[in-house]
């Protein structure tokens, strides 16, 4: 049975390039941030991936029930977020990549449910 998609929202796709020797430090701090973010009722999905071929490269996807403008105001404008970015930047091998995209529900959504 396929799940139904929310009608609207945005997805933020982020890739960070952490110096491999700082990967454990990053993940320890990131878990705290992750646990805080997922308590937000507008956060519908937050999934993190590790690049198996490039140590220190992490990707994550956040799905939000809101607009790109709302996300910028609610999360990126917060002092906690600014502090996180300042910390994260100290661990970079190169700058993060970030993209915010709008949901295309309907015919372009599928999730298998067991």
* Paired residues of 14 in beta bridges: 60, 98
pLDDT-derived band at 7, boundaries 50, 70, 90: low
Rounded Cα gap, residues 30 and 56, in angstroms: 13
User: Which whole number is the average pLDDT over 93-111?
Assistant: 89
pTM tops 0.85, yes or no = yes
pLDDT digits (tens, 9 = 90+) for 46-93: 999 999 999 999 999 999 999 999 999 987 778 989 999 999 999 999
pLDDT of residue 103: 86
Q: Domains in the chain, ordered, with CATH? A: 18-103 (3.30.70.100)
């Amino acid at each position: 049975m396929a799940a139904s998609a929310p009608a609207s929202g945005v997805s933020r796709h982020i890739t960070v390039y952490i110096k491999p020797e700082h990967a454990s430090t990053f993940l320890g701090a990131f878990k705290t941030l992750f646990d805080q973010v997922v308590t937000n009722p507008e956060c519908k999905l937050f999934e993190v991936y590790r690049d198996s071929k490039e140590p220190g490269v992490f990707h994550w996807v956040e799905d939000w029930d809101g607009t790109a403008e709302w996300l910028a105001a609610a999360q990126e404008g917060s002092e906690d977020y600014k502090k996180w970015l300042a910390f994260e930047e100290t661990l970079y091998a190169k700058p993060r990549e970030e993209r915010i995209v709008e949901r295309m529900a309907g015919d372009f959504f599928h999730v298998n449910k067991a």
